[in-house]
A and B are shown apart, each in its own frame.
Chain A
Amino acid sequence: MSICVAQTRASLLRLPHQSARSTVRSRPFTPSPRLLNTLAVLEHKDGKVSSQSFPVVTAASRFGGPVTVFLAGSGSKEVSEQAAKLNGVEKVIYASNSAYDKGLPENFAPLLVENIKRGHFTHVVGSHSAFGKNILPRASALLDIQQISDCIEIKDENTFVRPIYAGNAIATVRSTDTIKIVTIRGTAFPPAEETSDTATIEEAPIDPNAECTTVWVSENLTRSERPDLGTAPKVVSGGRGLKDKKNFDRLMLPLADALGAAIGASRAAVDSGFADNSLQVGQTGKVVAPQLYLAAGISGAIQHLAGMKDSKVIAAINKDPDAPIFQVADVGLVADLFQAVPELTEKLNAEKK
Chain B
Amino acid sequence: MTSLRILVPIKQVIDYAIKPRVNATRTAVVTSGVKMSMNPFDELSIEESVRLRERNRDAVRDILAFSAGPAKAADTLRTAMAMGADRALLQGEGSDLEPLFVAKLLREVVHKEGCNMVICGKQSIDDDSGQTGQMLAGLLGWGQATQAAKVDVQGSEVVVTKEVDGGEEVVRVKLPAVVTTDLRLNEPRYATLPNIMKAKKKPIEKKTLADFSVEFGKRLETLKVVEPPPRQGGGKVDSVDGLISRLKELGAI
Contacts and interface: CB of A to CB of B under 8 A. Distances in A.
A330 interface: yes
Contacts of A6: none
A169 B128 CA distance: 11
11 contacts: A131-B164, A141-B135, A141-B139, A150-B129, A150-B130, A159-B223, A169-B226, A217-B170, A292-B253, A303-B16, A327-B233
A49 interface: no
A122 interface: no
B19 interface: yes
Interface residues of B, number: 81
Interface in B72-126: 98-101, 103, 122-123, 125-126
B227 interface: yes
A106 B100 contact: no
A interface SS class = mixed
Nearest to A218: B170
A329 B103 contact: no
Contacts of B244: 344, 347-348, 351
A149 B171 contact: no
Given A217-B170, A284-B182, A315-B243, A172 B252 contact: no
A344 B183 CA distance: 33
Interface stretch (A22-30, A219-227, A239-247): A219-227
A150 to B, nearest CB: 7
Interface in A203-258: 213-222, 228, 230, 234
Given A168-B19, A219-B167, A138 B223 contact: no
A35 interface: no
Contact of A278 (B163, B228, B250): B163
B224 interface: yes
Given A217-B172, A284-B183, A331-B246, A137 B167 contact: no
Contacts of A133: 130, 134, 146-147
B173 interface: yes
B243 A149 contact: no
A82 interface: no
A113 B227 CA distance: 36
A139 B138 contact: yes
Given A140-B138, A174-B220, A221-B164, 4 more contacts: A142-B139, A165-B20, A172-B223, A284-B183
B interface SS class = mixed
Interface in B140-175: 143-147, 149, 159, 162-174
Given A140-B135, A331-B250, A164 B126 contact: yes
B57 interface: no
Contact of B165 (A140, A278, A344, A347): A278
B55 interface: no
B128 A166 contact: yes
Contacts of B227: 168-170
Contact of A214 (B144, B219, B237): B144
Contacts of B228: 163, 167-170, 309
Interface string A109-124: 1000000000000000
A71 B92 CA distance: 42
Contacts of A348: 244, 253
Given A134-B134, A169-B225, A332 B167 contact: no
Contact of B163 (A144, A163, A218, A277): A277
Nearest to A168: B20
A165 B128 contact: yes
Contacts of B145: 214
Contacts of B225: 164, 169-172
Nearest to B170: A217
A31 interface: no
A196 interface: no
Contact of B224 (A144, A172, A333): A172
A150 B219 contact: no
Contacts of A150: 128-130
A333 B225 CA distance: 34
Contacts of B220: 146, 148, 173-176
A335 B239 CA distance: 8
B154 to A, nearest CB: 11
Interface in B214-239: 218-228, 231, 233-239
